[in-house]
Copies of this chain bind each other. A is one copy, B any other.
Amino acid sequence: METNPLIGITLSNWDSQVKRITTAFDNYKDEDMYLQVAPGRNRIIYILGHMTAVHDMLLPLLGLGERRYPNLDEFFITHPDSPETALPMPGELRTYWKDVNAAISAAFRQLSAEEWLDRHTMVTPEEFEKEPHRNRFNVLLSRLTHISYHLGQLALVNK
């Protein structure tokens, strides 16, 4: 499939943002993952689990497959972070994070420009007719800015 250049550039920006935040996570030892990004704010480990759950959700949302780690939602989507909450171990989350990103990055490359512009699975054909911006590409951009939102926060951690 020939790649639309605008899609190609967007996916390459996606990969580089994922790489930047993965490096940020990898730069913290497991024991430092419990540091907060700012006083009273999310712990690094919470951001890792949260990002993993959000990226995992892209599989069904974009019609690319089933969730791999729906068990994460209880910890990282439904409830805000709290220092008292026990979370899955850092090593486990690091593995899920890399697995999910490999899966979505590969699946992204199977979509044509037309498919990127088609509706995502949370919108009905009737809604999509009225709101054609509710397409896969829009979701991709909103998740792209979601990565950098948390990347900016990780840059503030005082080690």
Q: What is A's interface to B at a CB cutoff of 8 Å?
A: 4-7, 9-10, 12-13, 17, 37-41, 113, 116-117, 133, 135, 137-138, 141-142, 144-153, 155-156, 158
Copy total for this chain: 2
Are A141 and B10 touching (Cβ within 8 A)? yes
Partner of A113, one of B6, B13, B149: B6
Bound together, the chains give a CA A70 to CA B134 distance in angstroms of: 38
CB distance from A14 to the nearest CB of B (A): 9
B148–A13 contact, CB under 8 A? no
Q: How far is the CA of A156 from the CA of B37 in the complex (A)?
A: 8
Q: 30 interchain pairs (CB within 8 A)?
A: A5-B137, A6-B6, A6-B7, A6-B10, A6-B137, A9-B137, A9-B138, A10-B10, A10-B141, A12-B133, A13-B138, A13-B141, A13-B145, A17-B145, A38-B38, A38-B39, A38-B158, A40-B158, A41-B156, A144-B145, A145-B145, A145-B148, A146-B148, A148-B148, A149-B149, A149-B155, A150-B152, A152-B153, A153-B156, A156-B156
